[in-house]
Chains A and B, each alone.
Chain A
Amino acid sequence: MALQGNLRDFPFAQLLNLVNLARKTGMLEIIQKGETAHVYFRDGRLACALMANEDSSLASVLYQNQRISPNLYRAIKNKGGAIWDKELGLQLINAGFVSRETILNSLQQHHVSVIRRLFTWQEGVFRFIPNEPPPEDKIALNMELENLIMEGSRHIQEMEILMDELPNLDVSLKFSERPENNLRKVNLTVEEWKVVSFVNPKNSIRQIAQATSMDDLQIRRVVYGLLQAGLVEVLKTEQARQLPQTQLLPNQSKDEQRSLVNRLITRIRGL
């Protein structure tokens, strides 16, 4: 089955949310105006994010982060022949040039910078290839997506998207029941923490906005991020929650109701 489409219709934040919730493993390819990004996931976590036409070798990443000197960078490049990131990483650690943590942090910064750029893509054809592993020479990381989703959502300016995602501010929120959900591992801004502190089925989003002095755009953006990161869920409106259970066949006895549904089932089975 294909997981494909256009970012115009299914924004990058929602794609990450889907990958996160479904704990997907594979490669997400996004193409926009001649630029191609390949983002690899393992069990719903970010393993690697690469731009196809950019040098994302470990040597280049470390050099750009000023973790190795220009001379060492040139020496590695002049060595000739392709050296795998994993192999180079080991050599640099063993030679005492960098620590393992430095390598992982630098790669993490690099992957996050690619993800940040993807959040700015309004359009772009995407497809997800299940079980496609990162290139063999790359060092795969294991980054949770919630923080990235929250960060990307903070930059959404289009009221139209936010209105579509959250048309009604008179609904309330509750914390997600997913067992792996843990607010403590997510880096929230002060504004986001304020909203989180009011998350309660008794408070509508509009009331939370008033209590936190946020306008419609601000509160929608914060709630959108929390929703996409899977931290909260929307509850039905108070009116909907209080709906009395509709009697499906009000004028009939229990036996008549049972009989009617059984006849429907029998007939449809026989089609």
Chain B
Amino acid sequence: MAGSDSQVQTVKMVITGPFNAGKTEFIRTVSEIEVVSTEQNISSDAEKVKQTTTVALDFGRLTIDKSLVLHLFGTPGQRRFEFMWDILAEGMLGYILMVDSTRPETFREARYILDTFSDHSDTPFVVAVNKQDLEDAWDVEDIRHALRLKDDIPVLPCVATEMKPVKNVLLSLLHIIQKRLEEE
């Protein structure tokens, strides 16, 4: 999205992925403002690996320069919030699919989300496999196979709480966007 607000242009990126993949943490790491999260306590037993979850969206912001601002939106991970995805996805420059490397039970959901997004838009994206610092994390290439991702789709190791891997994911996405713009 390229919007204009008092001559300040905004562009939007979306962070999507299954429940508890680390979307909020990712945005928190890079955002210059306290992430605006609409969270509530989790009621479902199956989802009680954390206390709260995003029910509407996360919002983070990064000032690029005097006239450009990057907005980062996190989408709720659960399918019951699927109606939100289209709204958030509209006008995005690119998106990041976050996957929890330690929870293979969420891989199917991740693939479903990716299929849904790619069915509605051909916007550039990368896959960030989060929690790679944990002992029980699956290997990046194993996750690629588990999600049936082709070799040309970037699958990047990530630790959403650390700046370096988060930067790497964002830069990888931007380089794809850059390439795409050259081709247009």
Chain A: residues with CB nearer than 8 A to chain B?
1-6, 8-10, 14, 17-18, 21-22, 164-165, 167-168, 227, 233, 236-237, 239-240, 243, 245-252, 254, 257-258, 260-265, 267-269, 271
Residues of A within 8 A of B174 (CB): 261, 264-265, 268
Question: Known contacts A264-B68, A268-B167, A271-B163; is A10 also within 8 Å of B121 by CB?
Answer: no
Residues of A within 8 A of B142 (CB): 1, 3, 18, 22
**Is B135 on the interface with A (CB-CB < 8 A)?**
yes
In whole angstroms, what is the CA distance A8 to B137 when docked? Answer: 18
> Which residue from chain A places its CB closest to the CB of B9 in the assembled complex?
A260
Residues of B within 8 A of A268 (CB): 30, 62, 167, 170-171, 174
A-B contact count (CB 8 A): 112
Decide: A3 and B139 in contact? CB cutoff 8 A: yes
Q: How far is the CB of A260 from chain B (nearest CB, A)?
A: 7
In whole angstroms, what is the CA distance A257 to B184 when docked? Answer: 11
Q: Quick one: which of A4, A251, A260, A262 contacts B136, CB cutoff 8 A?
A: A4
Q: How far is the CB of B64 from chain A (nearest CB, A)?
A: 4
Mask, B134-150, CB within 8 Å of A = 1, is 01111101100110100
Decide: A248 and B123 in contact? CB cutoff 8 A: yes
Q: How far is the CB of A237 from chain B (nearest CB, A)?
A: 6
**Is B48 on the interface with A (CB-CB < 8 A)?**
no
In whole angstroms, what is the CA distance A90 to B98 when docked? Answer: 54
Residues of A within 8 A of B123 (CB): 246, 248
In whole angstroms, what is the CA distance A66 to B104 when docked? Answer: 42
**Is B87 on the interface with A (CB-CB < 8 A)?**
no
Residues of A within 8 A of B103 (CB): 9
**Is B70 on the interface with A (CB-CB < 8 A)?**
yes
> Which residue from chain B places its CB closest to the CB of A8 in the assembled complex?
B105
Decide: A248 and B180 in contact? CB cutoff 8 A: yes
In whole angstroms, what is the CA distance A239 to B146 when docked? Answer: 26
Interface residues of B in 50-106 (CB under 8 A from A): 62, 64-65, 68, 70, 93-94, 103-105
Decide: A18 and B136 in contact? CB cutoff 8 A: no
